Chains A and B, each alone.
Chain A
Amino acid sequence: LAKTTQPISMDSYEGQEVNITCSHNNIATNDYITWYQQFPSQGPRFIIQGYKTKVTNEVASLFIPADRKSSTLSLPRVSLSDTAVYYCLVGDMGSGGYNKLIFGAGTRLAVHP
C-alpha cells in the first residue's frame, strides 16, 4: 500500500487559491489518487480522482507530475464553506483495491474571512 503524507493543517483567506500537496513516494503502477473532503459531523465526500497529468472538475483540479510521487489538490477561490478536512488516498481502484485504502489524518483547511 502506498503511504501518503500531507500537511496536518493549512490556513487561507476567502478568494485565494489553495494548493494541498500529498506525497506518495511508493505509488504503484496500478494506483490511482483520490481526494475526499469531510465537513464536521458529516461523512467524507468524493472530490476528485486521477492517474496522471491534470484532472479538473467543477470543484477542484488535481495535478500529478510525471513521476507520480506526489499530487496537488487545487481549490480555486476558496470560501468559508471550504473549511474542512481533506484526505489524499492512493490505491488500486479495482474491485479488491478499494477495500485496502487507508484514510490518514488528512489536512485541516481553515478559511478565514
Chain B
Amino acid sequence: NAGVTQTPKFQVLKTGQSMTLQCAQDMNHNSMYWYRQDPGMGLRLIYYSASEGTTDKGEVPNGYNVSRLNKREFSLRLESAAPSQTSVYFCASRETGMDPQHFGDGTRLSIL
C-alpha cells in the first residue's frame, strides 16, 4: 500500500523557471492538501482540495497554482519560481470526519 506518493523527491530550479509537483494517493480519500515546510519551521498550508473538483487557498497561496486532476491526483505548480519558494513541499490526503491526514515524504525544492 503506497499511501501518498510525491514526485519528484528532489529538484533544483533556476529563478523564473516553472515546475509542477505531483501527488497521488491510493486510499480513495476525498480531501488533499499541499504544505510547505521551511527549515526549523512547522508546515504551512498552501492550497487544499476538499473534494474532487474543488480547490481553495490556504495560508500561503501566492506564487502557486493547483489542479485536482481526479480523485487520486493533486498537483502544485510554480509558474515562475523564486528563491523564497525554496522549501520542502508535502502533500497530504484524508477522508472526511475524524480521519487524520496522511502525508507523503515530501519534495525538496531548491531555487537558485
Contacts and interface: CB of A to CB of B under 8 A. Distances in A.
Give the size category of B's interface with A: 20 to 34
Given A43-B4, A104-B42, A32 B48 contact: no
B100 A42 contact: no
Contacts of A42: 103, 105-106
Contacts of A45: 103
Contact of B98 (A49, A96, A99, A101): A49
B100 A99 contact: no
Contacts of A106: 42
A4 B94 CA distance: 23
A44 B43 contact: yes
A46 interface: yes
Interface string B17-38: 0000000000000010101000
7 contacts: A46-B101, A95-B31, A95-B96, A98-B31, A99-B33, A101-B45, A105-B40
Given A43-B104, A103-B35, A103-B43, 16 more contacts: A41-B106, A42-B106, A43-B103, A44-B101, A44-B103, A95-B31, A95-B50, A95-B96, A95-B97, A96-B50, A98-B101, A99-B45, A99-B48, A101-B45, A104-B42, A106-B42
Closest 8 CB pairs of A and B: A43-B103, A103-B42, A46-B100, A103-B43, A104-B42, A43-B90, A99-B48, A105-B42
